Every structure is written in C-alpha cells, then in structure tokens.
Amino acid sequence: MNVDVLAIAAHPDDVEMTCAGTLARLRNAGRSFGILDLSQGEMGTRGSAQRRAQEAARAAEILGASFRETLDMGDGGLRTGRAEEDLVIDAIRRTRPRLVLTSMPDDRHPDHARAGKFVFDAAFYAGIRKRETAHAAHRPQQVLFFSTMFFHTPSFVVDVSSTHATKMEAVRAFTSQFHDPDSSEPATMLTANFFLDQIEARARHYGQLIGVEFGEGFVSRRPPRVDDLLSAFDGFEPGF
C-alpha cells in the first residue's frame, strides 16, 4: 500500500510520543501514513512483546494509520546490518512515501540514535536502482527527524492543536508502559505519574513557538519551501 508518509521508529510507542499529532492531522486532511516499528519492544522493563503488539495495533487504529508493521531487528541493541537495511529499503520501496519521519541520530536511547542514522541511510539507498530488493527503486523527497528525550531546535513546527487529544489517546493505548498504581512491575522513567504531563508540556512549548496551543517540532537537513511568507506567520504575536 502506497502512503504519503512513513513513520519509522525503534520501538512501539516511539511514534506516538513524538509525531502522532502530525500523523493524525495528515489523516484528517485526506493524506495517508503508515508506521514501521523496527523492534517488538521485547526488552522493555514492563509488558511483553505480545502485549506491546496489541497496544500498537490499538494506537494505529486511533490515529488512522493505513498500516502498521513490526520488524524484529532486536530491542536493546538494534541490529543495523545489510540484511536489516534491505528490509527497511524494501519497505520504503513497497510503500513509496513522499516523506519519512524518524528519530534524531543523536537521541538519548541508543536504539533511537541507531534508528535515525540507519533510516536516513536506508531512505537514500532505496533510490539506488542497482541495490536490488523485491520492489523497484524509490527515494522519499525528505527524511524528517523528531526528538524523544533530548531537545533539538526545530527546523519547523506543525500545529497539532486539533489532534493533540488524539495523539494522547494513542499514547495511552500503551497501558503497559505508563503510570499504573495497581501494577506490580518495576518502575521506570515512563511510569512516573507526571510523564504524560511532560509530553504535553513539550507540545505546549512547541506550540508557543508558533503561536498555537500544541505543536510538534521536526528537524530537516534541508529547509522546507515556504510559498506564502505572510501566511507562514499568521497568528504570531507582533514583535520578536
């Protein structure tokens, strides 16, 4: 199935916490997107690969994804060899996205950092015709990066005020990963009762940068084209 955007991340729930508002907004505008998880999240402190798969399916349904696929590249030591690269190259060729979204190559979690560099490279190699896989060559127009833990100054910010609630519903679909006072599993950074508030705080910060309630920031190695300079700054408070 061809899609306009393919979001690729190391673990189930990475996409939800970072760019789900943007994906939901695209869907509301009649665009299509898919999600590719590079691992099953099997090394997570809480839950299991089977439960994460159920949660991921529910989150994809909430967001309106055209599909969600999960590879087995190894959680807690993401494998980035030739065989894994061919899998991602072929996924890009098979779905032919115009844009690929993935994690920053210098993010806190080593799996996120590996995924960012790996996906950027795979997106380029996907356009090389003599790099043979099961599908014809296709190179996305751009790879855009999102942050999970570290803050990166965004190249641009998407207004997700209308879809932030949908994003948070998709995040909460991963019930095994977040605060549950009745759980007997070990506590993690994600299970702190304020962690979801921090996701919202980041969205509010990005939103403040562009004069809206909620935003999601992205880093692009090439700047986006702005066709209408005036409308690009609609809603901004006058002044610096």
pLDDT in the model for residue 180: 81
pLDDT in the model for residue 188: 83
pLDDT in the model for residue 239: 67
pLDDT in the model for residue 184: 79
pLDDT in the model for residue 240: 61
Can you count the helices (H) and strands (E) in the chain?
6, 7
Whether 13 and 41 have beta carbons less than 8 Å apart is answered as yes
Residue 125, both tokens: 């190699």
Whether 154 and 218 have beta carbons less than 8 Å apart is answered as yes
Of residues 231, 56, 221, the one with CA closest to residue 159? 231
pLDDT in the model for residue 186: 84
**Whole-number Å distance between alpha carbons of 68 and 91:** 11
C-alpha distance from residue 120 to each of 91, 95, 96, 117 (Å): 13, 16, 15, 5
Structural domains in the chain, sorted by start: 5-233 (3.40.50.10320)
- pTM, full prediction: 0.94
pLDDT by residue for the chain (240 residues), tens digit each?
899 999 999 999 999 999 999 999 999 999 999 999 999 988 887 878 899 999 999 999 999 999 999 999 999 999 999 999 999 999 999 999 999 999 999 998 999 999 999 999 999 999 999 999 999 999 999 999 999 888 899 999 999 999 999 999 999 999 988 888 888 788 888 888 899 999 999 999 999 999 999 999 999 999 999 999 999 988 787 766
Q: Which amino acid is at 177?
A: Q
